[in-house]
Amino acid sequence: MTARFRATSIDAIDEIPVVGGSLRWKPVRRTLGIGAFGINAYVGDAGRDVVEEHDELSSSGAGGHQELYLVVRGHARFVVDGEQVDAPAGTLVFLPEPDARRAATALEDGTTVLAIGGDPEAPYAVSAWEHNFAAEAHVARGDWAAAAETVRGALPEHDGNPSVHYNLACFLARAGRADEALAELRRAYEADPAQVARWAADDEDLEPLRGMGGFPPLPAR
């Protein structure tokens, strides 16, 4: 890569298993250092997710983006608000409404989908979910400190986001930094008590915090 241009290929970007391993993410935007828009690639084998079911408004990590999907390789079946879209290689699927519920399943091994997104009403900001996905590479190696620092990178733009503070709490707890983890868990709980209570009820990542003074008033297990 040079200062004037950066070049790579989708195949050269390492895959990171995310969403419990049901999805394989290629961090295109992070790899190339793109700051003007969101762009990433996803890979799935036949019968597996190649776009996880979501919309761009309802989760705490969503960016409120319009999204364009390009099937680069293979064959996918999209479902958008219950309507199926057959999508062989070369198909473009544009979702102008952020609240549209969308998902895609790979119909062939190695199906690859490029996703491009941005908020038409605001300058581009990296979505909170991207930091959480990027941390999964460190989680797979058991490097909890590196996972925590990756998620911490979301705070300048997403301070107060419950999923960011919650994931940071989990990784700090695993890294043995209980006091810092407890502080982040409190911030997550203050942002969304009901959701964080559900997340934390049986989360093994938080075991080091249970019984500590000041543990948030989460429901007992």
Instruction: Please check whether residue 11 lies inside any domain of the structure.
Output: no
| Helices 162-174, 128-140: inter-axial angle, 10-degree rounding | 20
CATH number (domain holding residue 154): 1.25.40.10
pLDDT in the model for residue 34: 93
Cα four-point dihedral sign 52, 33, 147, 168:
negative
Q: How many angstroms separate the CA atoms of 21 and 37, rounded?
A: 26
Whether 144 is covered by a domain: the verdict is yes
Which pLDDT does position 220 carry in this prediction? 47
Average pLDDT of each block of 10 consecutive residues along the chain (221 residues)? Answer: 83 93 92 93 96 87 86 98 98 96 97 94 83 92 96 93 95 95 93 90 90 68 46
What's the domain range around 102? 16-118
Residue 146 covered by a domain: yes
Q: What is the pLDDT of residue 66?
A: 93
Last residue of a domain, one of 60, 90, 118: 118
CATH number at residue 33: 2.60.120.10
Note the pTM of the prediction, 2 decimals: 0.78
Domain end: 99, 118, 137, which one? 118
Determine how β-strand 83-88 pairs with β-strand 75-80.
antiparallel
Residue where a domain stops, chosen among 61, 96, 118: 118
Q: Residue 49 in contact with residue 19, Cβ under 8 Å?
A: yes
Please tell me whether residues 158 and 133 are part of one structural domain. yes
The pLDDT assigned to 221 comes to 46
The answer to whether residue 6 sits within a structural domain is no
- CA angle (15 as vertex; 175, 118 as ends), nearest 5: 95
